[in-house]
Amino acid sequence: QKEVEQDPGPLSVPEGAIVSLNCTYSNSAFQYFMWYRQYSRKGPELLMYTYSSGNKEDGRFTAQVDKSSKYISLFIRDSQPSDSATYLCAVGRRGGNKLTFGTGTQLKVEL
């Protein structure tokens, strides 16, 4: 079993839709949770970073962590064509030295 599971998609939505991206993880030792966005031929770009259960909002993006279910989500409101990218969830341990990534979900927002 992979430490982090993520549906690879692809996910196609119309412009303006609310997008929900999800990951599950297997180890309760993970305490840091991140979402990265990766455009084609680019490196991952940090979108959201949290270390607690609950919601964290930044503009059109909301990250949600449920440690009891080992489930993390990213919501994108009013999605735009420029949001078309691969979204990677990543987790880390307190005091650890590496991030463990999901496989990434490919998102396409269509006009």
Partner 1 sequence: ETGVTQSPTHLIKTRGQQVTLRCSSQSGHNTVSWYQQALGQGPQFIFQYYREEENGRGNFPPRFSGLQFPNYSSELNVNALELDDSALYLCASNGGGLNYGYTFGSGTRLTVV
State the residues that interact with partner 1 by CB under 8 A: 4, 6, 8, 32, 34, 36, 41-46, 49, 88, 90, 92, 94-104
Distance of closest approach, residue 36 Cβ to partner 1, in angstroms: 8
Nearer to partner 1 among residue 34 and residue 72 (C-beta)? 34
List, in sequence order, every residue forming a beta bridge with 50; answer none if it has no partner: 33
Angle at 75 between CA 15 and CA 25, to 5 degrees: 135
Smaller CB distance to partner 1: residue 8 or 16? 8
Q: How far is the CB of 19 from partner 1 (least distance, A)?
A: 19
At closest approach, how far in Å is the CB of 111 from partner 1?
Answer: 26
CA gap 70, 31 in Å, rounded: 10
Q: Which residue has the tokens 């590496």?
A: 98
Nearer to partner 1, 17 or 101 (CB): 101
Q: Do residues 45 and 37 touch, judged by C-beta distance below 8 A?
A: yes
